[in-house]
Structure 1
Amino acid sequence: MTTIEPTRTALVAVHLQNDIVGAQGAFAPFFRAEVERTGVLKTAARVLDEARAAGVKIVYTRVAFQSGYPDLVPNSPLLGMVAQNKCLVDGTPGAALCDEATPADGDVVVTHQRVSGFRASELDIVLRGAGVDTVVLLGVATNASLEGTAREASDLGYRTVVVSDGCSAASEAAHNASLESLGLLAEIVTSDELSAAYTSRAAGVSA
């Protein structure tokens, strides 16, 4: 990939929450096996650390609802499962970010109630206010909230980058199919390629 300009880039970590990626989370039957097989949380932690060191803005998106779900519109099977499993209630451990995704000073956490992190949230305002024109995404699930957020980022005019080994889905097949589709809208890179893009820019600047 070409170089990344850190001062105009945000790394958006999608739904790294206990109920979604945790071993005891409500969605563990769907996502945990692939989370463990791929080591995606370890990769995400490394990518987050490298991005901070490079001066990239870090934004976490988390989905959470009020107790009793007055703000949940279960118009899809995925959102219907939230109410059925009584999970992702704001203020509970399940809705919190997992240990591997603990925010640092200066990081931003955006809470939303739809599949895309941009929908009815302050994400676009936060990014544009920071002068961001490039969005790098990782998280779970590749074919749900990550894909939805990436598609909307592309539609909003952002240069969109997806870290292939920094995300996972309920199955390897679903993950790969999503990346294949997103390749028409975003740059698909590995975590090593992303790291090299920061390094290449730094080398160019020093030269």
Structure 2
Amino acid sequence: MKEAKSVLLVMDLQAGIVKGNLQDSAALAPFQQAIQTARNSGVPVIFVRVAFRSNYPEVSEKNKIFSAISKRGGFTETDEATQIVPEVAPLPEEPIVVKRRFSAFSGSDLQEILRAKHIDKLVLAGISTSGVILSTVREAADKDFEMVVLSDACADSDVQVHDTLMQKVFPKQAEVMTVQQWQESLQSME
């Protein structure tokens, strides 16, 4: 069996989400380590962010979370809250995918990019574990992607939910490892 071609997906590390889920910028260290590991190993990096058009045409009143955002305003494509934080800034050649829902695939062109690059293995990092990570794992599994979830490069405001997902839910569909373990696995393939 041939080695899967991987990509690191760095998801929702944008100002409005980082601020609400991480205590300080030091908590970004595992994300920075994952990005640097990918770049050093020749693994492409794709950044994913959630944002809406200014008049929210993609938000249904039936969607509890996103309709609340559309009522109070913000989280539009140009809003500061949707911009990737500078501590993990993409390089000019690294794509930034804009999604309209929790999953990195929903309302985005991510699948087209992955198909064009012949990617079949996703390495997932992001905020929040119970949001973008969970939704992306489920959808990617249905799309037959091989996956690694970087447990320490994911965060959630509810630590118990994070731990339950990492220990009981994700291992059924993905390999769960730390950034250090992933880095070592890449080095062992060189």
TM-score (norm 2): 0.91
Q: 1:155 aligns with which of 142, 145, 166?
A: 142
Is 2:165 the counterpart of 1:186? no
The residue correspondences of 1:6-155 to structure 2 (distance < 5 A) are 8-22=5-19, 28=20, 31=21, 35-36=22-23, 39-155=26-142
Gaps of 5+ in 1: 23-27, 203-207
**Pairwise CA distance, 1:37:** 7.5
**Pairwise CA distance, 1:83:** 2.1
- 1:200 to 1:97, Cα distance in 2 relative to 1, 3 A: same
Cα RMSD for the two superposed structures: 1.8
**1:58-92: per-residue Cα shift (whole Å, max 9, x none)?**
11111101112222224333223322442211112
TM-score (norm 1): 0.84
Residue matched to 1:175: 162
Residue matched to 2:183: 195
In 2, the alpha carbon distance for the partners of 1:58 and 1:21 equals 19
Question: What amino acid maps onto 2:100 in structure 1?
Answer: Q
In 1, the alpha carbon distance for the partners of 2:146 and 2:61 equals 31
Question: What amino acid maps onto 2:8 in structure 1?
Answer: L
**1:152-189: per-residue Cα shift (whole Å, max 9, x none)?**
11111110110000001111101112222111111100
Q: How many residues align?
A: 187
The percentage of counterpart residues that share the same residue type is: 26
* 8 A Cα contact 1:115 1:149, kept in partner: yes
- 1:47 to 1:18, Cα distance in 2 relative to 1, 3 A: same
In 2, the alpha carbon distance for the partners of 1:74 and 1:48 equals 36
In 2, the alpha carbon distance for the partners of 1:109 and 1:62 equals 7
